[in-house]
Structure 1
């Protein structure tokens, strides 16, 4: 049973389409929104996505609309990507021109007409500025800004005289990496540079954490690298966004090894360029910087060598002049000395030739005087010795036993031997007593000791 008030769905959608067409058909709106649920149909060059508005406090979605872009709108998106260096993708904050359409099958949709490049560039610049401000605010110990120039702990490091061993963080398939390596390995000066590769994806900002992990790996290796090279070459322009991430740039700013960037841009600077020690435009320029640094050291050595050669030649010339002067002085002094010595020898020879008889006569007189003196001294010496002998002879006569016995003394003998004391003579011993003219034998009847001082004079 049919309801007389019912209508077909197509009639309803037709009425809705009429209302939409009447209300919005001639109007195009510039809408600020975020992109989500984005897909791209390559074969048709169609972009499908949702535009959403998020609550600034809770981040919850407060509005959503399906949108599509094709034809001129798809071309405008391509131009947008080229101008901003930013892929059209999810979470992109955009100012986009749309028209409201209703389709009886697909429902209410927004058809993209155009996209404001400047709005997105401004938003990206705002994000970049916010990141720089955060780096300064949260890391004052190693990041500062003075007169428009960023000073970091890394930028204050000093390169060694030669950059010889380096760590390279790049994509293995990057054309920029190949250019960098080719430039180093084929340098015109034959410099040998050791390259340690730390490969990582550099396509898109989502790989910032992986890139940071490779930088940490370089640090934890403990290898004393002379420099760390960050390379991006080949790929989309959106690869630059990786080098504007906060955590990566904080690590670059405090990294203890000088960082060289060769990110492959010609117009703008990434935050990594500002935090690193040295920024170059391309990977090839980074390689040329290393070669130039080493060449400068070689040129300095050559200049020092040339200076040493010149100084040595000057010093030798000065000393040669001094030696020549000294040689002339020596020759002159030697000639003068030889002349003086020749005069001295001549004078001495003349003295020897003119006075030989005087010398001989003097020597003869000396010998005669010596002979006379020797004869006199010999006679006196013999007379003195004769008197000494006579004196000794007199003493010997006084001390002779005969003389002593004549004075009333006696010699005592026991068994034919003269005794000096009676210590070992016992009573009853026969003793022979010798006087000056008599010898007596007697026997010891008694013996007593005395002190022997009765006859002291």
Structure 2
């Protein structure tokens, strides 16, 4: 068996690659690592195994030189930097180079951000399906919206222009509504978005009772700028918030998965501010309408009670006058009948007295004596029984015209 030196082997590999890949080729891969240095961009490209796990099936290093980097930025704009982020699936035009000492390298000549957007759209649809299967897609939207929205948890970058517009719009509302806002600062694009966004949502969830709602704000940007808001962990955490979540990430045409799981999705931070103001205005109008109804009801009740009091007053006056007339009639009747009644009573009393006197006279002992009766006394006491006298007793007998004494012989 022939033995090759390492240099001979690598020289053969370089020649084979140069022969088989004389021209640049387009490849698809995932960026595992992106490291800028001195204007260049060093990439670590991988292709993951189809097992569904994070196993790597292939890996290679790639370089985007400073000059080519500037040219691509000029032609592709901000979409280039958004595409060349860790975790992105990219389509790159590369020149394949193999060096005997430094090995295989890919030199990036061009990029296709549209491919990245397409891959992100597929991932976005997959995320939506997962959330729907987990029952999270409508969860936040089903929460009751408080009658007033004044205590606001803001998730945004501290220097975002959209944040300033939002705060100014709230402060300058023409109705004088007061709002209490607290910022949970986070990146709103780029590699740090997912980590910082999840931390902000976790902090809000821990003190949810202190807020009426949460809002996510940013000031617009390219479609790829919004890719972080399609991440499954971000959207799952947002959907599980126990307070309503409002989205205003400044994009007029495209929406994100975060828009779908939120209570309400509005186009701009200013639109979110308008939503809060109009919601509170609606509640104020309800209160004013209720106050008017209460005032009208109170006036109606007062009128009814006043009418009833008037009726009671008239009825009382009529009853008093009726009773007074009745009493006056009774007094007049009594005044008329009293002298007659007095005479009648006196006559009856006099007659009764005369009858009593006649009765007394009829039953007087003198009357009995005049009718032939007599009274016998012994020792000054009336003798009512023959057994009270004995032979030899002296008794006194009284008649109508006098008395006499007698001795009892038998």
The TM-score normalised by the length of structure 1 is 0.61
Distance 1:230 1:241, change over 3 A: same
Q: Deviations over 1:116-169 (max 9, x none)?
A: 222211110001001111111221xx64xxxxxxxx244355656653333323
Q: 2:105 is matched with which residue? A: 109
Q: 2:50 is matched with which residue? A: 56
Alignment partner for residue 365 of structure 2, among 391, 395, 401?
A: 401
Q: Distance in 2 between matches of 1:247 and 1:6?
A: 53
Q: Distance in 2 between matches of 1:115 and 1:441?
A: 180
Q: Distance in 1 between matches of 2:90 and 2:5?
A: 39
Q: 2:336 is matched with which residue? A: none
Distance 1:112 1:420, change over 3 A: farther
Q: Deviations over 1:199-251 (max 9, x none)?
A: 444442233421331341342xx2462x3222234899765233223344345
CA contact (8 A) 2:95 2:107 kept: yes
CA contact (8 A) 1:85 1:238 kept: no
Q: 1:21 is matched with which residue? A: 18
Q: Distance in 2 between matches of 1:302 and 1:70?
A: 67
- Structure of larger gyration radius: 1
Q: Distance in 2 between matches of 1:162 and 1:397?
A: 109
Structure 2 gap segments, 5+ residues each: 297-339
Higher relative contact order (CA 8 A, sep 6+): 2
Asked if 1:213 is matched to 2:202, the reply is: yes
Q: Distance in 2 between matches of 1:112 and 1:35?
A: 13
Q: 1:132 is matched with which residue? A: 128
Q: 1:438 is matched with which residue? A: 404
Q: 2:141 is matched with which residue? A: 155
CA contact (8 A) 1:84 1:121 kept: no
Asked if 1:410 is matched to 2:375, the reply is: yes
SS of match in other structure, 2:250: coil
CA contact (8 A) 1:174 1:234 kept: no
Distance 1:272 1:419, change over 3 A: farther
Q: Distance in 1 between matches of 2:394 and 2:78?
A: 159
Distance 1:108 1:403, change over 3 A: closer
Question: How many matched pairs?
Answer: 348
CA contact (8 A) 2:154 2:183 kept: yes
Distance 1:80 1:64, change over 3 A: farther
Q: Distance in 2 between matches of 1:113 and 1:421?
A: 171
Offset at 1:8? 8.6
Q: 1:93 is matched with which residue? A: 89
Distance 1:112 1:432, change over 3 A: farther
SS of match in other structure, 2:176: coil
Q: After TM superposition, list the pairs within 5 Å mapping 1:55-454 onto structure 2.
A: 55-57=49-51, 58-71=53-66, 73-75=68-70, 78=73, 82-83=78-79, 86-139=82-135, 143=137, 152-156=138-142, 159=145, 162-202=148-188, 203-219=192-208, 222-223=209-210, 225=212, 227-233=213-219, 240-253=226-239, 255=241, 257-295=243-281, 398-405=362-369, 407-412=372-377, 416=380, 433-436=396-399, 437-439=403-405
Q: Distance in 2 between matches of 1:35 and 1:398?
A: 152
The TM-score normalised by the length of structure 2 is 0.67
CA contact (8 A) 1:200 1:214 kept: no
Structure 1 gap segments, 5+ residues each: 144-151, 312-373, 443-457
Offset at 1:98? 1.8
Q: Distance in 2 between matches of 1:299 and 1:236?
A: 40
Q: Distance in 1 between matches of 2:28 and 2:239?
A: 35
Offset at 1:252? 4.0
